[in-house]
């Protein structure tokens, strides 16, 4: 069974929306006087991508336009082909309806004059990981396509020799043809969009191994530096996690993966956990997220590592709200000590949670494999529960106490009632009312000690006259014994003991009362019948 992280689905949602917009946008062909941007992209077997964008103004004369180009992290070359460029500058590139400034791309605005023929310019740049490949799977994600809405966009993508199959593409290509040993795809993308293609390759995989203490990783050789970076993160994280969970791991394995379909793009990482033995497999990290904001992959990696520690503690994956809530909370909390940026993760989860207006109860029945249309809401609600409690009761130290309580449980943590009970013990406060306000349905296990003490006192009061005294005492003892290891079992014994100590005496008392009443009535009747004069008394008497 797998625990799947839907990390940063909102970002994927943005990408997906763009892609779908593109898919439905009708290409405006045949209007040759319109300005045109032609994207020519090709990548090699390492995923290294060259991008050539050719602008044609459509009409002779002067004018201006703009195109999105990568920020200063890579070199962009602009070359005038026809006419003259009179000015050129980089300004912030704003995307979407709200005009958010793109973190990685600039708006390259230029003016030109070309009196005799349409103006033309070529812009070139490279992307080290335009395509990401973990043989045999590959994934191409184009640079940001960004030009004025009045322009027409055409794009071609040339894949390397050895690409065996094309699996999925968005938008739908207008043409796919084989040029010798290479495949070329043509698209009519939207003016603000990306092109995404999944494919498989036939060439063999070259693998590198990385070992850092108990951390081992196996990666395609071209990503050895990324693998080493993540192994170093885990090496640094392990002492902090050991201390937090009061548990150690024997081994942590790490792999990279490529989404097999565009739908899987939203999966930041996953780690298989056996639901009965709690054994964990390798941690798989989606290579795609190395192209996101700094800190994204680190946050995903720590999220997955948290799942492994939780499994080690015996927290069942059926309690997804506990697993996912803590995985995101701890991944965010570890950002500061481990030196990675978690601002966007926290902000995205907070924004989604705020829509729920404090109603988080639906996560109580969140199970692996369940289908929901709003998965990110479930992640955000679970995160918010642990973040709120953390803010109220001491942050990570609250959870450190919680984990110490969980390690005493005989069969691990398998129920929400016990989770809330153990959280209450760790917080030193009854959290049932708070969880109830959030919409959880929780059986209060927090006053078990008080109930036990009360029943013990009642047994003492009755002394030896208590019927079923031995049975009552044995259930009280069983309750005491299972109080820490299985509080719900303890509750069961307390309920039975209460039946012997409170209900049975009451029933017996009631029956006795009825007998006493009946006896009293009988006595009264008898007395009355004695007083009644008998008609033949004198005869009997004589």
- Contact residues toward Zn ion (CB under 5 A) are 5, 324, 327
Our CB check for Zn ion shows the closer of 5 and 479 to be 5
Q: How far is the CB of 7 from Zn ion (least distance, A)?
A: 8
Question: What tokens appear for 483 in the block?
Answer: 């109080």
Our CB check for Zn ion shows the closer of 271 and 486 to be 271
Long-range CB contacts for residues 171-178, cutoff 8 Å, separation at least 24 = 171/19, 171/22, 171/23, 171/25, 171/195, 172/23, 174/27
Our CB check for Zn ion shows the closer of 163 and 327 to be 327
Our CB check for Zn ion shows the closer of 375 and 508 to be 375
Q: How far is the CB of 420 from Zn ion (least distance, A)?
A: 21
Our CB check for Zn ion shows the closer of 157 and 319 to be 319
Residues 100, 6: Cα–Cα separation, whole Å = 23
Q: How far is the CB of 5 from Zn ion (least distance, A)?
A: 4
Closest by alpha carbon to 308, among 274, 345, 265?
274
Q: How far is the CB of 373 from Zn ion (least distance, A)?
A: 19
Q: How far is the CB of 460 from Zn ion (least distance, A)?
A: 50
Residues 382, 460: Cα–Cα separation, whole Å = 45
Which stretches of 77-162 are assigned E, i.e. beta strand? 77-82, 84-95, 100-114, 120-127, 131-134, 137-141, 145-146, 152-158
3-class secondary structure per residue, 152-215: EEEEEEECCCCEEEEEEEECCCCEEEEECCEEEEEECCCCEECCEEEEEECCCCCEEEEEECCE
Q: How far is the CB of 274 from Zn ion (least distance, A)?
A: 16
Residues 190, 105: Cα–Cα separation, whole Å = 17
Q: How far is the CB of 304 from Zn ion (least distance, A)?
A: 7
CA distances (Å), origin 25, targets 149, 173, 276, 377: 12, 12, 49, 30
Residues 280, 298: Cα–Cα separation, whole Å = 20
The DSSP code for 287 is G
Q: Is 153 helix (H, G, I), strand (E, B) or coil?
A: strand
Q: Is 403 helix (H, G, I), strand (E, B) or coil?
A: helix
Q: How far is the CB of 126 from Zn ion (least distance, A)?
A: 34
Question: What tokens appear for 307 in the block?
Answer: 């799942």
Backbone angles phi, psi at 407, to 5 degrees: -70, -15
- 215 within 8 A of 305, measured Cβ to Cβ: no
Our CB check for Zn ion shows the closer of 94 and 255 to be 255
Q: How far is the CB of 324 from Zn ion (least distance, A)?
A: 5
Q: Is 148 helix (H, G, I), strand (E, B) or coil?
A: coil
Q: For the purposes of burial, counting CB atoms within 10 Å of the CB of 162, is it exposed (0-12), middle (13-18) or buried (19 or more)? A: middle
Give the number of other Cβ atoms within 10 Å of residue 473's Cβ. Answer: 17
Closest-approach residue to Zn ion (CB): 5
Q: How far apart are the first and last CA of the chain?
A: 101
The DSSP code for 467 is T
- 252 within 8 A of 305, measured Cβ to Cβ: yes
Our CB check for Zn ion shows the closer of 327 and 389 to be 327
Our CB check for Zn ion shows the closer of 49 and 280 to be 280
Residues 456, 458: Cα–Cα separation, whole Å = 5
Q: How far is the CB of 271 from Zn ion (least distance, A)?
A: 8
Our CB check for Zn ion shows the closer of 153 and 310 to be 310
Which stretches of 235-390 are assigned E, i.e. beta strand? 252-257, 269-272, 283-286
Q: How far is the CB of 354 from Zn ion (least distance, A)?
A: 21
Our CB check for Zn ion shows the closer of 371 and 538 to be 371
- 338 within 8 A of 236, measured Cβ to Cβ: yes
Our CB check for Zn ion shows the closer of 164 and 279 to be 279
Our CB check for Zn ion shows the closer of 106 and 324 to be 324
Closest by alpha carbon to 17, among 258, 199, 265, 188?
265
Our CB check for Zn ion shows the closer of 3 and 153 to be 3
Our CB check for Zn ion shows the closer of 369 and 464 to be 369
Cα 215 to its chain centre, rounded Å, is 23
Q: How far is the CB of 3 from Zn ion (least distance, A)?
A: 5
Q: How far is the CB of 37 from Zn ion (least distance, A)?
A: 40
Question: What tokens appear for 21 in the block?
Answer: 């917009």
Tokens 């070259």 appear where?
Answer: 206
Alpha helices, DSSP H, located in 206-295: 224-245
Q: How far is the CB of 88 from Zn ion (least distance, A)?
A: 46
């Amino acid at each position: 069974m797998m625990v799947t992280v839907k990390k940063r689905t909102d970002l994927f949602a943005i990408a997906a929306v763009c892609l779908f917009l593109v898919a439905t946008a009708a290409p405006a062909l045949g209007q040759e006087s319109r300005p045109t941007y032609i994207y020519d992209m090709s990548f090699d077997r390492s995923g290294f991508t060259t991008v050539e964008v050719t602008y044609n103004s459509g009409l002779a004369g002067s004018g201006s336009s703009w195109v999105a180009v990568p920020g200063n992290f890579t070199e962009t070359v602009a070359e005038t082909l026809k006419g003259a460029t009179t000015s050129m500058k980089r300004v912030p590139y704003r995307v979407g309806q709200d005009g958010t400034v793109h973190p990685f791309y600039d708006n390259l605005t230029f003016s030109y004059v070309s009196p005799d023929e349409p103006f033309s310019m070529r812009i070139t740049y490279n992307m080290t990981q335009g395509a990401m490949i973990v043989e045999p799977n590959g994934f191409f994600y184009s640079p940001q396509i960004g030009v004025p809405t009045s322009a027409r966009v055409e794009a071609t993508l040339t894949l390397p020799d050895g690409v065996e199959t094309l699996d999925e593409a968005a938008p739908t290509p207008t043409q796919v043809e084989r040029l010798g040993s290479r495949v070329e795809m043509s698209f009519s993308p939207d003016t603000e969009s990306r092109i995404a293609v999944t494919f498989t390759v036939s060439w063999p995989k070259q693998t590198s191994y990385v070992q850092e203490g108990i951390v081992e990783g196996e990666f395609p050789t071209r990503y050895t530096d990324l693998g080493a970076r993540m192994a170093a993160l885990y090496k640094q994280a392990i002492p902090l996690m050991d201390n937090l969970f009061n548990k150690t791991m024997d081994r942590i394995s790490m792999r990279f993966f490529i989404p097999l379909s565009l739908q899987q793009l939203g999966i930041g990482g996953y780690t298989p956990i056996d639901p009965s033995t709690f054994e964990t497999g390798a941690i798989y990290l989606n290579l795609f997220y190395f192209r996101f904001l700094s800190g994204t992959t680190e946050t995903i990696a720590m999220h997955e590592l948290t799942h492994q520690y939780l499994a080690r503690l015996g927290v069942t994956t059926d309690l997804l709200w506990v697993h996912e809530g803590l995985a995101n909370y701890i991944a965010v909390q570890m950002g500061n000590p481990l030196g990675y940026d978690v601002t966007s993760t926290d902000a995205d989860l907070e924004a989604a949670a705020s829509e729920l207006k404090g109603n988080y109860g639906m996560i109580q029945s969140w199970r692996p494999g369940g289908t929901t249309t709003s998965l990110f809401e479930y992640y955000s609600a679970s995160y918010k529960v642990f973040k709120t409690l953390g803010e109220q009761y001491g942050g990570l130290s609250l959870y450190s106490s919680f984990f110490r309580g969980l390690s005493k449980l005989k069969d691990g943590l398998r129920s929400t009632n016990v989770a809330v009970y153990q959280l209450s013990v760790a917080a030193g406060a009854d959290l049932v009312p708070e969880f109830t306000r959030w919409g959880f349905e929780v059986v209060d296990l927090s006053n078990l000690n008080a109930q036990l003490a009360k029943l013990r006192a009642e047994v003492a009061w009755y002394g030896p006259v208590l019927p079923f005294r031995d049975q009552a005492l044995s259930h009280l003892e069983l309750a005491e014994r299972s109080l820490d290891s299985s509080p719900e079992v303890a509750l069961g014994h307390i309920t039975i003991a209460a039946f012997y100590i409170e209900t049975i005496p009451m029933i017996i008392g009631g029956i006795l009362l009825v007998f006493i009443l009946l006896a009293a009535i009988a006595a009264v009747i008898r007395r009355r019948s004695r007083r009644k004069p008998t008609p033949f008394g004198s005869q009997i008497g004589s």
